[in-house]
Amino acid sequence: MRIYLAEDYKSMSRRAANIISAQVITKPDSVLGLATGGTPVGAYQQLVEWYKKGDLSFAEVKSVNLDEYYGLSPRHEQSYRYFMQSNLFDHIDIKYENTHVLNGLAKSPTVECAEYNKLIRDLGGIDLQLLGMGHNGHIAFNEPGDDFGLETHLVNLTESTIEANKRFFESKDDVPRQALSMGIKNIMQARRILIVVSGAAKADIVYKAFCGPVTKEVPASILQLHPDVTLVGDKEALSKLV
């Protein structure tokens, strides 16, 4: 595992964007696995900036997002499709049809998840998977205790995740209680993984995930077993690691 310690959020974001852009430059038709949440926003802004300067093109890139709230329309402002459009896709030259986010309104979550697994396989797998980490160690919406062998599935969000995500909604009651999420198996099959962490509130869980035992109770700990993981974090988030 490689670890990059960044001075602050801005340089963490720049380093993460560097790794993503190197992937796209060396393989223009890369399949990128993308994440939402607060942490990757700065990296997306940096990628947009480099695209606008003419240094980067996403014309042949394909993307698959990790997860989506179940029950939210793609047009809902808190949906992850909306997040991806407004933070990245609307500002770069990626083709809409090459971007894939789970459908939060799918009638059958089982069918939607099976089709998503097939889509990832048909695309040839994920070249680089970007991840954030929840305060309870979740990656995507794989919550503590979830089976490491799962592929894309319907998840019941934990109280801790609902609590952490209520900041994006008008009230806690508005936070959906379920989500569709890639499973640990999909994530572990990505050829490369880039995980970004920021802020003192993540320091304990980052330490547990990378220095503690591999356990379902800390889903991100499974990344210790992946052959190509890059962790990029700011000083606060990595304070207990280095």
Q: Does 17 bind ligand F6R (CB under 6 A)?
A: no
Please say whether the dihedral angle defined by the alpha carbons of residues 171, 172, 175 and 176, taken in this order, is positive or negative.
Answer: negative
To ligand F6R, the closest distance from the beta carbon of 138 in angstroms equals 5
Question: CA angle, 90 as apex, 194 and 162 as ends, to 5°?
Answer: 55
Torsions phi, psi for 113 (to 5 deg)? -70, -40
Residue among 56 and 205 whose Cβ is closer to ligand F6R: 205
Residue among 14 and 57 whose Cβ is closer to ligand F6R: 14
Interaction with ligand F6R in 52-81: which residues (CB under 6 A)? 66-67
Instruction: Name the residue whose CB lies closest to ligand F6R.
Output: 132
Binding test (CB under 6 A) with ligand F6R, winner from 5, 11, 18, 38: 38
Residue among 31 and 133 whose Cβ is closer to ligand F6R: 133
Residue 138 designated active-site: yes
Residue 143 designated active-site: yes
Q: How many residues bind ligand F6R (CB under 6 A)?
A: 13
Catalytic positions: 67, 136, 138, 143
Footprint of ligand F6R (CB under 6 A): 35-39, 66-67, 132-134, 138-140
